[in-house]
Structure 1
Amino acid sequence: MKSNFNSEDLSQILVGAFALGVPISFSEEAWRLGENLPNQNLLLLALLSLFFLALYTYESVFQRQVANRIFAFVFRVVAAYLIAALVVALILICLDKLPLLSDPAIALKRIVVITMPASMGAIVVDSFDKE
């Protein structure tokens, strides 16, 4: 099993995030959720995303072998979430649904809402080549 993060891992995370981020980013329901969900719900959504990313990474990517690789484990979870968030932001920019300058709070909220499924797609695709 590979323990270091390389360009193949990056490309898999990008593709996985894109695969699930695109259809949800086109959804007006996701845009509205990003506008209307209270901040505590968005925080819970982000924490749930990180929890499930960590669980899947622990079980599938690292196959429960994290004792001597805590930094690599945490790095992969955080990297998958942040890369997925970046992919979501780029998709929303292309759709003109990311008001970064006019309403940054709504922009961030939309990113958080759509990053949850996108990050799961990212980590699942990242796990495909692990032994």
Structure 2
Amino acid sequence: MLYKEIHIGQFIKERVDEKGIAIERICNFLNQDEEAVENTYSSKSIDTEVLLRWSKLLEYDFFRLYSSHLILYSPPSAVNKNAQKSDKIPYFRKNIYTQEIKEFIIKRIQSGEMTQNDVVREYSIPKSTLHRWLQKIDDIN
């Protein structure tokens, strides 16, 4: 299923292959030897500092994979939504919906697998956002 299981090493390896970046350049950029780079490809998870460097090198936001996972598979918010927001960590108002997430959700609605209300309830997507996505699909067709 879409983003259910994230094997970050496989995603990195696929992007390296797409970009055709030489192993020497990767090693220089990451300050790692070839063995460490190869180990990354087989790793299910890696340190965030290292992932940030990979994201810069490969010009791809690997963190969005995890954001997408949270949007699709995290449990609903706690009951107390009015709790005071922390001043110590950044608070992001908007969710990030990738094209893949939009297509996944629209496909579930169009196939009859879920209703619009089911999507709003299960994935906590605002009704206005969902209607905007569906309107764009109608405009294209």
Scaled by the length of structure 2, what TM-score is found?
A: 0.27
Larger radius of gyration: 2
Q: Which has the higher contact order (CA 8 A, sep 6+)?
A: 1
Structure with the higher helix share, 1 or 2: 1
